[in-house]
């Protein structure tokens, strides 16, 4: 009798342990030396190749350089996706590729669905063959393999971290990384980013609860831009990037007067606010940047912060010695992106806003768009997403985010 009870307790204990943490966790590294982009490593093919890829919320699919010369992706289990198939249409296939420099290998096959693989850093679209192959997933779920993971064999790695051989597509599509992993592993279509400032952060697929403490999450709907913001699209397609409904912006608690037309989409989908892991810092339309910076510098003067010379594209810098700090970071005027109501906002503290550019100088890590009429008015960049949990729930189309983890004396690399 006693041994039966013991057995039951053990069984339920292991069940609850299995359910306790996000099923899939990939470590994320930031290329702090150069590009300030974030990457992780997938295990693709047979034998498994380790392929490091730059995270992007903007790419509809994953693409990489399939050439074997450096870091071999020399798989025997790949399959080309054929032209004029449903899989090709569903992926947004645009044309058909062949290859005359046989023998066949990934990136050189006939009758292969062509996808447009976009590198934002040289603004180049490669016509890239679509393939599927085995993806091995670091998972505590019962299944750990995606048997037909879709990707494209592209080329042109300009601007990516040296380690990275392509881009991991996290947009809101059926062939995105998270959609494929969650569907194959029978997990909810939810993923979360905990981007590191240094060390190793996390890409989590399948939803919480999470193994680290995040505090309460703020929830806001994912807003759909009716016009695609992809590099290549069919007219009439909505965007599959992640937009937020920012209604107003406060600096030091006071709403800033700005042209609020920019916060909404015009008839061609210009305007609005999105999240981006490929912009190292938040980029604002000049019609928003100017009033925000005026409000920030005025409030900073009130705090006796002393201006220092510009640094690169940072135009608002301060002598570090004039900026107070506490255990949560620098104390500067806070900036709130106010969302669906006044009690729902994305609050940026000194730990999010200030970038140390030298021993003596800190700059506001928000920059003015170089374009006169940028596609998106507010692009929240990597630095402002770091060290907090940002969860993308594609089941109910909601975004949830934590306060900066430093306010709980931790970070994404703990
Ligand atoms: C690819 O793998 C095959 C079989 O394992 C091997 O014969 C071939 O040399 C490999 N090619 C490259 C470029 O590594
Ligand atoms: C593709 O088809 C052409 C024409 O039939 C053939 O010459 C070529 O070897 C094929 N390429 C591959 C990679 O199979
Ligand atoms: C507000 O911005 C829109 C979009 O750029 C522009 O068309 C409009 O003229 C601006 N309004 C004012 C009052 O500046
Ligand atoms: C934006 O979407 C609307 C509605 O689908 C369409 O009429 C318009 O042409 C689109 N604009 C662009 C630039 O694609
Ligand atoms: C604001 O929005 C949140 C999330 O949608 C909701 O829970 C809350 O009740 C709203 N607060 C007010 C004051 O409307």
For residue range 81-97, what is the model confidence (pLDDT) as tens digits?
A: 999 999 999 999 989 99
> pLDDT at residue 369 above 50?
yes
Q: Which atom of ligand 5 is nearest to the CA of 218?
A: 4
Tell me which of 18-27, 61-70, 78-87, 383-392 is least confident: 18-27
Cα gap 57→127, rounded to integer Å: 20
Cα gap 113→130, rounded to integer Å: 5
Using DSSP, state whether 182 is helix, strand or coil: helix
pLDDT of residue 125: 96
Q: 190 φ, ψ to 5°?
A: -135, 135
Is 56 in contact with 167 (CB distance < 8 Å)? yes
Measured in Å, residue 242 CA sits from the centre of ligand 1 at: 40
Cα gap 60→172, rounded to integer Å: 7
Tell me which of 69-83, 158-172, 221-235, 358-372 is least confident: 69-83
pLDDT of residue 68: 66
Is 382 in contact with 172 (CB distance < 8 Å)? no
User: pLDDT by residue (tens digit) across 96-153?
Assistant: 999 998 899 999 999 999 999 999 999 999 999 999 999 999 988 888 999 999 999 9
> pLDDT at residue 3 above 70?
no
Residue 8: which pLDDT band, with cuts at 50, 70 and 90? Answer: very low
Mean pLDDT of 357-362: 97
Cα gap 249→290, rounded to integer Å: 13
Query: Among all chains, which residue has been given the structure tokens 């339309």?
Result: 285
The percentage of the chain sitting over the pLDDT mark of 70, rounded to a whole number, equals: 93
Mean pLDDT of 215-230: 97
> pLDDT at residue 14 above 60?
no
CA dihedral 379, 381, 387, 388 (to 10 degrees): 20
pLDDT of residue 143: 85
Higher model confidence: residue 240 or residue 6? 240
Contacts of 22 (CB under 8 A, 6+ apart): 192, 204, 205, 206, 207, 208, 209, 210, 211
At 238, which helix (H) or strand (E)?
Answer: none
Residue 5: which pLDDT band, with cuts at 50, 70 and 90? Answer: very low
Cβ of 219 less than 6 Å from ligand 5: yes
Cβ of 344 less than 6 Å from ligand 5: yes
Cβ of 72 less than 6 Å from ligand 1: yes
> pLDDT at residue 9 above 70?
no
Cβ of 98 less than 6 Å from ligand 2: yes
pLDDT of residue 272: 98
> pLDDT at residue 2 above 60?
no
> pLDDT at residue 18 above 80?
no
Q: What is the mean pLDDT of the chain?
A: 93
Tell me which of 13-17, 52-56, 208-212 is least confident: 13-17
Measured in Å, residue 259 CA sits from the centre of ligand 3 at: 6
Q: Closest by alpha carbon to 116, among 90, 87, 95, 89?
A: 95
Residue 22: which pLDDT band, with cuts at 50, 70 and 90? Answer: low
Cβ of 71 less than 6 Å from ligand 1: no
> pLDDT at residue 302 above 80?
yes
Which residues contact ligand 3 via a Cβ below 6 A? 259, 261-262, 287
Higher model confidence: residue 68 or residue 357? 357
pLDDT of residue 94: 85
Mean pLDDT of 165-180: 97
Q: 385 φ, ψ to 5°?
A: -100, -15
pLDDT of residue 160: 97
- The strand pair at 124-136 and 112-119 is best described as antiparallel
Question: Within 269-347, where are the H helices?
Answer: 286-302
Higher model confidence: residue 233 or residue 314? 314
Higher model confidence: residue 408 or residue 6? 408
Residue 71: which pLDDT band, with cuts at 50, 70 and 90? Answer: low
């Amino acid at each position: 009798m006693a041994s039966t009870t013991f057995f039951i307790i053990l069984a339920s204990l292991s069940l609850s342990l299995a359910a306790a943490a996000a099923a899939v966790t990939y470590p994320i590294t930031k290329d702090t030396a150069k590009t300030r982009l974030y990457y992780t490593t997938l295990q693709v093919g047979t034998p498994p190749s380790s392929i490091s890829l730059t995270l992007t919320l903007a790419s509809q699919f994953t693409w990489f350089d399939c050439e074997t010369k450096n870091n071999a992706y020399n798989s025997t289990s790949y399959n080309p996706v054929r032209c004029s198939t449903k899989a090709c249409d569903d992926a947004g296939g645009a044309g058909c590729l062949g290859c005359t420099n046989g023998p066949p290998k990934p990136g050189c096959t006939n009758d292969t669905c062509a996808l447009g693989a976009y590198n934002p850093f040289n603004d180049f679209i490669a016509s890239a063959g679509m393939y599927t192959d085995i993806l091995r997933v670091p998972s505590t779920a019962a299944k750990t393999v995606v048997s037909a993971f879709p990707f494209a064999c592209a080329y042109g790695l300009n601007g990516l971290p040296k380690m990275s051989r392509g881009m991991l597509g996290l947009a809101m599509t059926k062939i995105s990384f998270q959609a494929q992993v969650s569907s194959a592993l029978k997990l909810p279509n939810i993923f979360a980013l905990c981007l590191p400032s240094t060390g190793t952060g996390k890409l989590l697929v399948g939803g919480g609860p999470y193994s680290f403490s995040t505090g309460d999450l703020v929830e806001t709907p994912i807003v759909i831009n009716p016009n695609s913001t992809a590099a290549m699209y069919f007219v009439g397609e909505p965007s599959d990037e992640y937009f937020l409904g920012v209604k107003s912006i406060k600096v030091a608690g006071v709403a800033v007067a700005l042209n609020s037309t920019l916060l909404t989409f015009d008839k061609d989908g210009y305007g609005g606010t999105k999240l981006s892991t490929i912009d190292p810092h938040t980029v604002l339309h000049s019609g928003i940047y100017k009033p925000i910076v005026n409000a920030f510098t005025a409030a900073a003067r009130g705090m006796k912060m002393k201006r220092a010379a510009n640094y690169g594209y940072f135009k608002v810098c301060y002598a570090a010695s004039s900026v107070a700090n506490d255990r949560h970071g620098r104390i500067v005027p806070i900036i709130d992106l106010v969302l669906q109501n006044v009690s729902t906002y994305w609050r940026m503290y000194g730990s999010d806003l200030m970038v140390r550019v030298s021993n003596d100088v800190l700059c506001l890590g928000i920059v003015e768009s170089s374009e006169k009429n940028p596609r998106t008015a507010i692009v929240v960049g990597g630095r402002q997403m770091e060290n907090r949990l940002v969860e993308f729930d594609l089941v109910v189309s909601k975004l949830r985010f934590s306060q900066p983890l430093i306010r709980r004396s931790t970070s994404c690399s703990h």
